[in-house]
Chain A
Amino acid sequence: KQEVTQIPAALSVPEGENLVLNCSFTDSAIYNLQWFRQDPGKGLTSLLLIQSSQREQTSGRLNASLDKSSGRSTLYIAASQPGDSATYLCAVLGGGADGLTFGKGTHLIIQP
């Protein structure tokens, strides 16, 4: 059974810092990996999707990498801003009925 772990569970940094969020998964047989953002009381917003054949994806200040063989992904946020404060969720798509297994998220606070 696929398990997804996100470290750290919570992170608080001053505005302007670069930071890295980590995601690890136990079964490397995945189709893709997706990073989501969830604001309090809201749904999930898709940030980046990396196909299993890809190594990284970039969108603005966000860069996500995937090392499928070692079961790891990182989300790099450059020049963090208070508006980046949210919970960031990692999810891998594999087999099974729904196929998407989520981590419990990293709760990020960017201090102004």
Chain B
Amino acid sequence: GAGVSQSPSNKVTEKGKDVELRCDPISGHTALYWYRQSLGQGLEFLIYFQGNSAPDKSGLPSDRFSAERTGGSVSTLTIQRTQQEDSAVYLCASSFPRDYRRFFGPGTRLTVL
């Protein structure tokens, strides 16, 4: 597609529920990144994929967070048993190999009640 797309754009959920956030990168981009942006905070790196592999998952805040990427394209970020502190905007970005310009999606605004 023309740009990185994310869905849903907004998600409101109850504490304890699981949520899935989706990212469709720009076609041909091998690298994909997930970030979290909390109110008034900078961007927090979560995880990075090169192809379908995630070389480093240490940015994930807890074991309730997981991510996968299939076919070198779409990625899903899953948050299990959501907590109120998970409320944030989750941003996805993609690029050609890591050293190139990154293009960001519009984000998913997650609100945990």
Contact = CB atoms under 8 A, between A and B. Distances in A.
Interface residues of B, number: 24
Contacts of B58: 97
A93 B99 contact: yes
B67 interface: no
Contact of A42 (B33, B93, B101, B106): B106
Given A43-B91, A105-B42, A100 B102 contact: yes
A31 B99 CA distance: 7
Nearest to A45: B104
Interface of B: 4, 6, 33, 41-43, 45, 48, 55-56, 58-59, 91, 93, 98-99, 101-107, 109
Interface of A: 31-32, 34, 36, 41-46, 49, 89, 93, 97-100, 102-105
